[in-house]
Amino acid sequence: MIITRRDVIARAAAACAAATLLTWNAAYAQQAWPAKAIKLVNAGPPGSPPDTYGRIYAERLSKSLGVPVVIDNRPGVGGNLASDAVSKAPADGYTLLYNVSNTFTVNLHVYSKLPFNPQKDFRPVAPLISQGLFIVVNNDLPVKSVKELVAYAKQNPGKLAYGSYGTAGFPHLFMELFNQSAGVEMLHIPYKAAPTIDVISGQIQLLAEPAASAIPMIRSGKLRAIAFTGARRNPLFPDIPTVAETYPQVAVSGWHGIWAPAGVPSEIVQRLSAEITRITQSPEMQKQIVEMGSEPMVATPDAMASMVRAEAKLWGDLVKTKHITLD
C-alpha cells in the first residue's frame, strides 16, 4: 500500500478535527450543566420540615437554574436511606441530597455500621436553615426559667420526664447535653409520634420541641416556653432567653443542608453553592424562613465541612459518655 503525501495530510487533518471535536464536546458538556432535571433526594417524609423547606428551595433553584428540580422523598433510619441512595448515584450533578445535619454528625456514632461513609462519600454544597428548639413545659409545672427547672429537678430527683421524637434525634441529644451541663438527670421517653400531647396533658413534664412546631403551641398557651437552644434569642420571641444565657456551652441548633456525591466536579458544586446562597440571602426567602421559626444559614462548602467536623466531635463525645446507641 502506497501512502501519498496527500493521504498523510488528510489523515492528520481528520485526527486534528476529531481531537478538536472531542475537546469541544467536553467543554460543551461542562458548560451545558444543567441540561436536564435535577433530582433532590429528601430524607424527610412529606409534610415534615425538611420536606417543606426542600420544596421551597427546589422551586426557587429550578427557576434559578432553568431546569426542573424534582423532590424524591426517601425517609427512614435517621436520614440513612436517602443518604445511601445519593452516595451511590452518578456524580454528575443531577442527583443531590437534602438532609439534616444529624445524619452527618451523629449517625456515625450511634450506628455500628452504615451503608455509606458520611465523611468520604459526599461533598457539602450549602447549609440552608438552622432551627433551634424551645424547651416547653406543662403549664402546671412550677418552673418559668432554666434556673428554676434545674432547681426543681435537683429537689425532685426522678420525677421529671421529657419526651423526644426518638433516641439519638436532635431533641434527645440536646436534652442529654443539657442534663450533663446542669448536673441533673431527667428520664427520657422516646416517642414514635409527637410527644407534645402528653406534655399538654401532664403525662410527661417537658420536651425540647423544634421551633416550627413549638411556635403554634406557645402562641396558643397550650405549653409554656422557658428557653430557646440557639446561640441567639429567637426573633419571634425575643423575651424568651436562651439556654446559653445560663449555660454558655449549651448553644446548639439543628440545621438542614444540601450535599452531592463525592465525585461531583468542583465547578458544579461551586455553581450550586452560589445559586443557593443567592436564594437564601434574598429578602423574600429570609422573611419566609424567619416566619417559619428558623434562621437563614449561609456558608461555603469548605465552611460547611468544618461545621460538620466540629459538631461530629461534640455529639460523638456526648454519645460515648451517655452510651447512646441505635443498634
Residues in the chain: 327
Q: What is the CATH number of the domain that holds 146?
A: 3.40.190.10
C-alpha cell at 58: 427546589
Q: What is the CATH number of the domain that holds 91?
A: 3.40.190.150
Please state the domain count of the chain. Answer: 2
C-alpha cell at 173: 441529644
How sure is the predictor about 193, in pLDDT bands with cuts at 50, 70 and 90? Answer: confident
Domain extent, residue 212, equals 133-245
Burial level of 204, CB count in 10 A (0-12/13-18/19+)?
A: buried
Residue 10 lies in a domain: no
Peptide linkage before 34 cis (omega within 30 of 0): yes
Kindly state the helix (H) or strand (E) to which residue 248 belongs, with its residue range.
none
Average pLDDT, the chain: 91
- One domain, residues 137 and 125: no
User: What CA–CA distance (Å, rounded) separates 230 from 253?
Assistant: 5
- One domain, residues 122 and 191: no
How sure is the predictor about 5, in pLDDT bands with cuts at 50, 70 and 90? Answer: very low
CB 228 within 8 A of CB 132: yes
Share of the chain above pLDDT 90, in %: 83
- Residue 2, pLDDT > 70, answer no
Report the pLDDT value the prediction gives residue 327, as an integer from 0 to 100.
Answer: 81
**458520611: which residue's cell?**
118
pTM score = 0.84
